[in-house]
Amino acid sequence: MKLKLKHIIAAALLVLLFSSAADAQCIDLVKTKGFTYLDTAKYIPEARFNALPLREGDDVDIYKSFFKGRNYRIVVVGAENMPKLNFKVTNFQRQVLYDSNITKEESWDFVSDKNQNLIISVEVPKADKDKKPQSGCVAVVVGFAY
């Protein structure tokens, strides 16, 4: 009984510890890898935090406003243990404006030709059938230039 209880407490503490560590990883991912790909000397990072932990096979849609004449860079990065991520930018009619499967790039630079809400869809490729899916942070960093 004593041993079981010890295990429960240890497990609870580990869950607490790992969840805080995962949280810290996401903001670190944005500020390190995300800002590097964004190139903060050229692009001012927007202020919203668009990062979350995902598993292989998961996907996330981010809805965001873009304004006419603005010069944007969209960067999509994942934690070191994650596979290369795919992302698409579409309008609300799901018309594809950008597909990283074609360009093989982590970022997309564009000038918005109108005021529009777009969807950034990020897909973490599925793990091989015989492997346990990895999980880690995925971040979308958007910046604008004057």
Partner 1 sequence: MNRKIFFLIFLLGITTWFISSCNSGENADTDDLTGETVDSSDIREEILISMLAPSDMAVMLIDNPALTFNKEIINPSSNFEKYNTNSKIALNIGIYTADLSYASLFEQEQITYDYLDIVKDMSEEIGISQSIEKRHLDMIKNSKLDKDDMLKIINESFMNTDAYLRENNRQKVITMILIGGWVEAQYIAVSLAKDSPKTNPQLTESILAQKISLELMNKALENVKGDKTLLPLKADIDKIYKAYLLMEDNMTDENFKEFCNLIRQVRNNYIV
Residues forming contacts to partner 1 in the complex (CB under 8 A) are 1-2, 5, 9, 12, 16, 23, 26-27, 30-31, 40, 44-52, 58-65, 67-68, 70, 115-117, 142, 144, 146
Nearest distance, CB of residue 115 and partner 1, angstroms? 4
Cβ pair 140, 120 in contact under 8 A: yes
Q: Based on CB atoms, which residue is closest to partner 1, 46 or 109?
A: 46
Q: What gap in Å lies between CA 63 and CA 27, rounded to an integer?
A: 20
Q: Based on CB atoms, which residue is closest to partner 1, 1 or 102?
A: 1
Q: Based on CB atoms, which residue is closest to partner 1, 30 or 85?
A: 30
Nearest distance, CB of residue 45 and partner 1, angstroms? 6
Nearest distance, CB of residue 41 and partner 1, angstroms? 10
Residue with tokens 């630079």: 109
Nearest distance, CB of residue 67 and partner 1, angstroms? 5
Q: Which of 74, 85, 69 is nearest to 39 (CA)?
A: 74
Q: What gap in Å lies between CA 144 and CA 146, rounded to an integer?
A: 7
Nearest distance, CB of residue 131 and partner 1, angstroms? 22
Element (H, E) at 146: none
Q: Based on CB atoms, which residue is closest to partner 1, 39 or 102?
A: 39
Q: Is 20 helix (H, G, I), strand (E, B) or coil?
A: helix
Q: Look up residue 115 and give its DSSP letter.
A: -
Q: Based on CB atoms, which residue is closest to partner 1, 4 or 104?
A: 4
Read off the amino acid at residue 92.
Answer: F
The length of the chain, given as a count of residues = 146
